[in-house]
Each structure stands twice: as structure tokens, then as C-alpha cells.
Amino acid sequence: MTPSSCSQTTAAAGCLDLATVSDIISHQHWSRLKVLAGITSAAAAAQLLHLLLDSPHADPPTVRRLFRWSESHFHSSHPLPLHCRLLHSLAAAKLYSDLRSELHSLAKSGRHSAPSILHSLSISSDTRRRGASLSVIADMLVLALVKNSRTESALEAFYRAGDYRCRLSILSCNPLLNSLIKEGRIENVEKVYKEMIRRRIAPNLITFNTVINGLCKAGKLRRAGDVVEDMKSWGLSPSVITYNTLIDGYCKKGQAGKMYKADALLREMVSAKIHPNVVTFNTLIDGYCKDGNTSAAMRFLEEMNRQELSPNVVTYNSLINGLCSEGKVDGALGLLKEMEDSNAMPNVVTFNGIVLGFCKKGMLAEAKGLLDDMLERNLAPSVITFNTLIDGYCRSGLMEGATGLKRLMLGSGIRPNVPTYNCLISGFCRNGDMSSATKLLDEMEENSVKADLITYNVLISALCREQKTAKAVKLLDEMQEISLQPSHVTYNTLIDGLCKKGNLRAALNIRARMEKGGKHANVVTYNILIKYFSGRGKMDEANKLLNEMLEKGLVPNRVTYDIIKEEMVERGYIPDIDGHLCNDAA
């Protein structure tokens, strides 16, 4: 049975039958292909590819080999419809690893949008079982886009796939959800999750854990709890990962009493016979440390040892950071020693914590000594090590030392980043050395390090301190030009600067801009304005503002109390021993 005659192969394959051509391709005799079959252009290759795809005898790997060779040989990419025919033929032959790698390069190239790929696939002439094969291809396409960090396109492909009645799987949907979380796009996580259920793509344990994680990261703890109920209704039980995720959510995003809730979750998991693991303890230890309760954290360390769960480097790092932020560097050094005697070897994060501890106490020689220790131990310092030290030097007013450290970091092959510049600029500003600060801004520009919110806040506060409020307002304009969202700090700093200069009208104007920018006046904003009026003896105005803030549900704080003490006492406010403000009437 001869596959084809000369007349069928025509100009594209010269006067060879497709079996011979296939043979030449599978042996990669490309020069013979050019000479004998006349494949001397991308167009000729494309024509031959179509012939091979039409023929029931050419096998897909051979087609793919010719496709790849001709694209690289003629330095041009084939049209999308041809590419789609290749994808269909690979899918029909169930050559999934070839299909995956084709889709990977298609996703990587970024030449085509997700909708155009799906459209082209849907009208491709190939395969009788197009529906099933389209689903597999679309599923792999979404995955390939996710893996190539093209999350937006992956999301688009996810939605379009539904229009073509493709059945996607959790193999692509779970990674998509994860990428959306990593990019902080929680709204989309919820939408994709709901759409999955609508399309009857059965979520599995990992899907639920992922969605719960996204909601926790966004601080939507109640919604996360709802999803736990969802998973139960699907017959799935929360796992240790589910609990750890929820505990971390409460530790990082919970309101007052959050550690109590985290602890309640721990008890709940234990009574559900789910054993806490190292991550559970690490999460709780970090939570208690961040809550300023290192003694509770240390008790959990002891509990770990009792349960024969070995603390690891993460456990110790949380504790060391907690102790250092409370000024207990000695305790941190004790733990460092304990680490060295155990299997948890200190890493760069460990050292960064202790460097910060020393810096906070102004022990710069010790901090710098640790950097030298790291270099001696062949433990590479990171940009954060240098930033921490540089900030320490800046806060002690040692700007030459800080600049020297910047040179040292460059010598170690680490490039300064935004925080590096922010620390230095803030240091120079504190010293009133605006010209050095400005030079650094130019240097950032040269190195294409983009100024961020903190850079602007530092500069605005420095200009306000020097009463150069017009320049400060200009910086606010500039932020909006480059669509950098100003924060409460930005506005409050400006309002404070303008009030101090006696320019109330301008301050109120900034307040109006603040509301327009979607940021509502907070306690700090009111404190600034109340201070302005009470400082001028305008107690009526000050009282009006106090009422206004109460109406908005804002809670006055110790600063408010100190500004208008008499009025606050009259209203029943009393500061407690910790400096917090209480109201016995409330």
C-alpha cells in the first residue's frame, strides 16, 4: 500500500512519497529534505506539514520534528492554525508529554493570546473527538501559562475554556489558584473557585486548602471558615494543612484575641485526632512572638521537645526575631548556641535577626562583627543583612559608615534595592542633609531602582520638617502621576506639616484629596486637626472634630487624650497603666 503518489505530494515534497519524506525527517537528514523534497522555505515546510497532518500514515512525532526543525531553521514561527493542528494530532495520539512541551513553548513565547489560541484550536479541522481532545489541550494550556508566570493569560484561558465547553481539571485549576494567591489576587481566587463548582470541576483537598489559604492571606477569616464548611459538605475532612493555614491566618490577620482563637484551633485539631506537626508549632510560636509574648512562645518550644518534634531553623528564627525585637539579644544568642548544638543550623535569616537585635540596641560594632562572622563561615549575607546594618548605622547618624557598607555590599556582588536607598535617604534626611538625599535619588534613577511609597513618605516628611510644604505637595502630585497609591501616612504627614505651618486651608484641601483617593481620615488625621484647633484655643472646633470622629466609629487614643485632656476626662476617658485609653461609660 503506497501512501501517496508524486501528484499528491506536489511541489511541497518534490517527487517523493510521504513515507520516504517521513523517513528522512525521522532520521533528521535535513539537507536531504531540502534537496530532495525541495523544502527551502518556511512556506514549503508549512505546506508539507499540512500534507503530513492530512495523511493517516505520518506519525505525530515526525510531524513535530519537522515543525521544530523548520521553525528554527528558517527563523520564523508557523501560523497559529498550523500549530493548533499539530497540538490536536499530538492529543489524538495521546502523546501527552510532547503536547505538554509544545504548549509550554507556545505559552513561553507569548506570541498569541489565550483567547486566540483557544479559538484557533476550536476551529481546527483535526480529529473526530475534538471535544475531548480540546479539553485536554485547554487544560494543559492553562497549566503551561501558569508555569510560565503568565497568570493573567491563564485566567483568561480558564474562563474562555468554559465558553468552548471544555472540561478543565484540578491539575490546572489548583496551580492557577496558587498563582493567583502568590500575586495577591484573592478576588480572582474566589471567582475561580465558584466557577469551578459551577462547571462541576470537583475540588479536592488541595483545592480547598489552597482557597482557604488565599482567604486567610487576605484576612477574610470568616470566609475561610465558610470554605471549611464547604469542604465538609463535599465529604472531605480538614487536614493538618487546613488547620495550620487557619492558625496562620488568625496569627497574622486576626483582631484582638487572635492568639486565643489560634489556640482554640489547636485544641480543635487535637480533639479531631489530627496531630500538630512542626509547622503547627512554628506558626504558633511566630504568632506569639509577633504578639509580643515570647514567654508563651518559649513554652511552645518546650512543648515541642516534650512531643519529640524537633525544632528546626524556622522555629529558632521566629524565637530569635521575637526576642531581639523585645531587646533580649542575650536570649537570642543563647538560642543561636542551642541551634549550633542541634541539627538546626543557623542560616542567613537567623543572623539577620540577631544583626537587627544589635542594631536596635545601638550595638553597631557587634552587629558588624556578625557580618564578618557570616563571611568567615561562608554564609552569604543577603541584601537584607546589609539593609539592616545600613539602617542601624543611619539611625545612629553614622552616615559615612552606612555609605561604606553600601560599597561593601556592592563589592560582595549585592545590588542596593529600594529599602537600601530608603534607609540611606531617611538617614540623610534625619541629619538635615537634603543634598546627599537628593544625590541618592539621582543614583536610584541611574540604577533604575524605582522609588516606592516609603521613599516618598520619607521625602515628604523631611520637606515638611523643613517647612517646605509646597515641595512636599508637589511630591504628592508626582505620586499620583506615576499612579503610586499614597497611604494614610502620606496624607497625614502632609496635613501635619501644613497645620504646623498654620496653613489650615491647604491641610483641609489635602484631606479632601485623601477622601478622593479612597483613604478615609483615621485617628491620626483627627488628632492632627484637633491639635491644630486646640492649640489656637478654638475648643469648639476641636470638640466638633472629636464628635465627628466618634460618629465615624473611630476610637480616640492616648494621643487624643493628651491633646485635649480636660474634654476627654469630662467624657469619661481614662488612660490605663499600659497607656491605653479606656472609657468606663463605653
Question: Residues interacting with DNA, by CB under 7 A?
Answer: 170-171, 174-175, 178, 204-206, 209-210, 213, 239-241, 244-245, 248, 252, 277-280, 282-283, 286, 290, 312-315, 317-318, 321, 347-350, 352-353, 356, 382-385, 387-388, 391, 417-420, 422-423, 426, 452-454, 457-458, 461, 487-490, 493
Look at residues 113, 185, 104 and name the one whose alpha carbon lies nearest to residue 137: 104
Nearer to DNA among residue 133 and residue 422 (C-beta): 422
Nearer to DNA among residue 298 and residue 454 (C-beta): 454
Question: Minimum distance between the CB of residue 582 and DNA, rounded to whole angstroms?
Answer: 24
Nearer to DNA among residue 205 and residue 441 (C-beta): 205
Calculated CA dihedral for residues 271, 272, 273, 275, nearest 10 degrees? -90
Nearer to DNA among residue 191 and residue 252 (C-beta): 252
Residue written as cell 483567547? 115
Q: How many angstroms separate the CA atoms of 126 and 92, rounded?
A: 9
Query: What is the CA angle 146-151-156, rounded to 5?
Result: 105
Question: Minimum distance between the CB of residue 245 and DNA, rounded to whole angstroms?
Answer: 5
> Can you say whether the dihedral through the CA atoms of 326, 331, 335, 340 is positive or negative?
positive
Question: Minimum distance between the CB of residue 350 and DNA, rounded to whole angstroms?
Answer: 6
Residue 330 exposed, middle or buried by CB count within 10 Å (0-12, 13-18, 19+): exposed
Contacts 24+ apart (CB under 8 A), 194-198: 195/158, 195/159, 195/162
Question: Minimum distance between the CB of residue 184 and DNA, rounded to whole angstroms?
Answer: 13
Question: Minimum distance between the CB of residue 461 and DNA, rounded to whole angstroms?
Answer: 5
Nearer to DNA among residue 178 and residue 396 (C-beta): 178
Phi and psi dihedrals of 327, rounded to 5?
80, 10
Nearer to DNA among residue 14 and residue 427 (C-beta): 427
Cα distances (angstroms) measured from residue 184 to each of 106, 210, 339: 26, 13, 34
Question: Minimum distance between the CB of residue 2 and DNA, rounded to whole angstroms?
Answer: 48
Question: Minimum distance between the CB of residue 506 and DNA, rounded to whole angstroms?
Answer: 19
Question: Minimum distance between the CB of residue 289 and DNA, rounded to whole angstroms?
Answer: 8
Nearer to DNA among residue 53 and residue 201 (C-beta): 201
Q: How many angstroms separate the CA atoms of 535 and 549, rounded?
A: 18
Look at residues 67, 30, 35, 32 and name the one whose alpha carbon lies nearest to residue 48: 67
Question: Minimum distance between the CB of residue 547 and DNA, rounded to whole angstroms?
Answer: 25
Question: Minimum distance between the CB of residue 239 and DNA, rounded to whole angstroms?
Answer: 6
Question: Minimum distance between the CB of residue 133 and DNA, rounded to whole angstroms?
Answer: 22
Q: How many angstroms separate the CA atoms of 580 and 177, rounded?
A: 42
Q: Beta-carbon neighbour count of residue 576 at 10 Å?
A: 9
C-alpha cell at 166: 471544555
Nearer to DNA among residue 47 and residue 388 (C-beta): 388
Q: Beta-carbon neighbour count of residue 572 at 10 Å?
A: 11
Nearer to DNA among residue 239 and residue 503 (C-beta): 239
Q: How many angstroms separate the CA atoms of 578 and 258, rounded?
A: 19
Look at residues 244, 240, 169 and name the one whose alpha carbon lies nearest to residue 207: 169
Nearer to DNA among residue 48 and residue 241 (C-beta): 241
CB 211 within 8 A of CB 242: no
Nearer to DNA among residue 108 and residue 430 (C-beta): 430
Question: Minimum distance between the CB of residue 486 and DNA, rounded to whole angstroms?
Answer: 9
Look at residues 344, 350, 273 and name the one whose alpha carbon lies nearest to residue 309: 344
C-alpha cell at 366: 557587634
Phi and psi dihedrals of 581, rounded to 5?
-100, 130
Nearer to DNA among residue 20 and residue 244 (C-beta): 244
Residue 336 exposed, middle or buried by CB count within 10 Å (0-12, 13-18, 19+): middle
369, HSE (Cβ side, Cα atoms, 13 Å): 7
